[in-house]
Amino acid sequence: MTGFDKRRVVVTGLGSVSPLGNNARDTWQGMVEGRSGIARITLFDPSDFKTQIAAEVKGFNPRDYMDGKLARRVDRFTQFAIAASREAVEDASLDLEHEDIYRVGVLMGTGVGGIGTLLKQQGVLDKRGPRKVSPFLITAMTPDAASGQVAIDLGVRGPNYAVVSACATGSGTIGEAFEIIRRDDADVMITGGTEAAILPITIAGFNVVGGISTRNDEPERASRPFDLNRDGFILGEGAAVLVLEELEHALARGARIYAEVIGYGVSADAYHMIAPEPEGAGAIAAMKMALRKAGIEPEDVDYINAHGTSTPLNDKTETAAIKKVFGEHAYKLMVSSTKSVTGHMLGAAGAIEGLACVMALYEGVVPPTMNYETPDPECDLDYVPNEARKAPIKIALSNSFGLGGHDSTVVFRKWE
């Protein structure tokens, strides 16, 4: 065993801006209550689109978290990241003035970055010419903008970069931050995912490939992971941030500990840019790697927060992969998809689902899969349908699988 293998990593702070609420507590309560954040799109007029519903962040005013000048210079996805990061640091009672700022890093992931700013400034270019394009275009649109701006906002100078792996991004940021602390490159990592992609171009793009639900007349019932009548995912937006901390560092300052991060697995399907590998090979590899690095057996896992997108292919492939990894124990597991209420937040999905795992362990409550009404013979596990369940879970696993065949799995353990 090498020196850094002995470094344990715990979660000491949580922050969120989501379709369920603009803080971590409201977000978690919304998941537990099964309260949907999905409704008709208000960010633009969706009347001409096949899909007219999404999971928008509601009532978010960036000036509640930053001055007006900064709010105007950064994209919405960065605004979400700053807000959630500030909450997470405060929740962790982390006094950055008394920390070695070179030992505190930021790892913030996104799927598409500042696409809203890019499209807006393209419009300026087309109508008013190149000299009228904003000087803040480049620094607002790049995928690393959120990670850089959060570091500037908090004044921390440790490891800092962006993870971009489509829908697997959020889990990837947590996993990579975990590894940074384990290898002794930082003591604290402020990490998560952020996304603001509810735009005409993205809705149109997903409609063309048939990826998103068109159940416009029933927004709250449109996302139905593992249900036989699922017809696609619902696009969501927002951010979730976790403060990860080396165990001894957290204990020394008397920090509250939510849970421990104990494993991380990552792989690729190497099959197709949209469809999952039919046998779930990449998902299987990611889960097996995470379990191996956590030093646990499949039978030790109590709960899986599934990727569970509500698409026909993903849900049956993930179910098959879980059964391959866990064998008969798969039928004893609780498996749920919180995307049924948050929608699919793309690069932020794995981060908010990591938050869900942490809180499930901390409070002993498993959030439900909402809108599960008609069982699918190919999806035959315990999906905790429609109602939260109290359970003394000790180990939770979070799955995230992304466009391009990216697979990420993170394992959390209850702190006792």
Catalytic residue set: 167, 307, 344
For residue 319, CA distances in Å to 264, 360, 376 come to 20, 21, 11
CA distance 307 to 405: 13
CA distance 409 to 266: 6
Long-range contacts of 274-279 (CB under 8 A, 24+ apart): 274/209, 274/211, 274/403, 275/313, 276/313, 276/314, 276/317, 276/318, 276/401, 276/405, 277/317, 277/405, 278/317, 279/317, 279/320, 279/324
Tell me which DSSP letter residue 326 carries: H
CA distance 384 to 411: 19
The three-class DSSP label of residue 343 is coil
Nearest to 193 by CA among 171, 211, 209: 171
- The beta strand positions in 82-147, using DSSP E, are 104-109
Tell me which DSSP letter residue 285 carries: H
What are the residues facing 410 on neighbouring strands?
264, 398
Helix (H) or strand (E) holding 190: strand 188-195
